[in-house]
Amino acid sequence: MRIATWNVNSLKARLPRVLAWINDVQPDVLLLQETKMTDKAFPALTFSEMGYESAHFGQGQWNGVAILSNVGLTEARSNFATGEPDAEARIITANCGGIKVVSVYVPNGRALDHEHYQYKLRWLDQLAAHVATIASPTDALVVAGDFNIAPADIDVWDMKALAGSTHVSQPERERLAALHAWGLRDIVREQHPEAGIYSWWDYRNGSFHRGWGMRIDLALVTECVAQQTRWSVIDRNARKGEQPSDHVPVVIEVAT
DNA sequence: ATGGTGGCCCGGCCA
């Protein structure tokens, strides 16, 4: 089963590229983030014609997450399964072909001294609670999306340039470590220990061509999924050409 | 590095 995650930065603006990418890569399950549209505007029929069932948790102008699947899609659930429902559309869960998948769009945080950063940390705590509520570490589970966290220094182009900013701070990295302690593994990093593999580059300053990127889009998997992951890739080519998202897809191939 | 792009929807917010 081929499972992918992609922050598309507006599904409306990105639809031609998303459809072309699906035809090219043929994912079985595709997790989307930042659709930036209402549920009514979500092109479910277009995906249906391509053989995918879908579930969308939209908000409109901002955020919005979705799951597409051609191996079945049941028990779709928007928002957190426990605690206070989040006010924003950032997480959706479903069962797809025997694997439970969660599409997440973690808050950006903006700045360490910003109120939004505290929201990010609280949101990550809620994510940990959500995961523990919907699954156990022995289940087949994939939690993937835009985490807005670079797990380690190797995941950014220059730590000096990012000193004191979000995405690399210790408190958010500790939240990620808590997910690992529960039983989720960063399978892409395990399979690709080298430096310089990024999933996001700023639109500004020619960051992509300068290699100024970060690996902030993650596919976290439980042990049984990790053992079955044949290969994984960050599809850097998706950042090239006309009207790219600033993020690229992350793909894992899981034997079933 | 800190706003030079790009998305939302039409001046400013957000990433």
The range of the structural domain enclosing residue A73 comes to 2-254
Residue A136 predicted with pLDDT over 90: yes
Residue A153 predicted with pLDDT over 90: yes
Report phi then psi at A175, rounded to 5: -65, -40
The CA–C1' separation of A110 and B13, in angstroms, is 12
The pTM for the full model equals 0.98
What CATH number does the domain containing A250 carry?
Answer: 3.60.10.10
Share of chain A above pLDDT 90, in %: 98
Tell me which amino acid residue A149 is.
Answer: I
The CA–C1' separation of A125 and B14, in angstroms, is 23
Average pLDDT of chain A is: 97
Got the DSSP string for A84-130? SPPSS--EEEEEETTEEEEEEE------TTSHHHHHHHHHHHHHHHH
Close Cβ partners of A204 (under 8 Å, ≥ 6 residues apart)? none
- Residue A220 is predicted with a pLDDT of 98
The CA–C1' separation of A39 and B5, in angstroms, is 27
- Residue A118 is predicted with a pLDDT of 97
What is the H or E stretch that residue A223 is in? Answer: helix A223-228
Protein-covered nucleotides on strand B (Cβ within 7 A): 1-9, 14-15
Scored b (16 or more CB within 10 A) or e, A207-237 reads bbeeebbbbbbbbbbbeebbebbeebbbbbe
Q: Measured at the alpha carbon of residue A201, what is the angle toward residues A200 and A206, in degrees to the nearest 5?
A: 165
End-to-end CA distance of chain A: 6
- Residue A84 is predicted with a pLDDT of 82
The CA–C1' separation of A61 and B12, in angstroms, is 14
In terms of C-beta density within 10 A (0-12 exposed, 13-18 middle, 19 or more buried), how is residue A23 classed? exposed
Residue A83 predicted with pLDDT over 90: no
Mean local confidence (pLDDT), A50-77: 98
Task: Say how many domains are in chain A.
Answer: 1
pLDDT tens digits, residue range A184-219? 999 999 999 999 999 999 999 999 999 999 999 999
Share of chain A above pLDDT 70, in %: 100
Mean local confidence (pLDDT), A119-128: 98
Residue A42 predicted with pLDDT over 90: yes
All protein residues with a CB under 7 A from any atom of strand B:
A 9-10, 12-13, 36, 60-62, 107-108, 110, 116, 148, 158, 160-162, 165, 202-205, 207, 212, 243
- Residue A43 is predicted with a pLDDT of 98
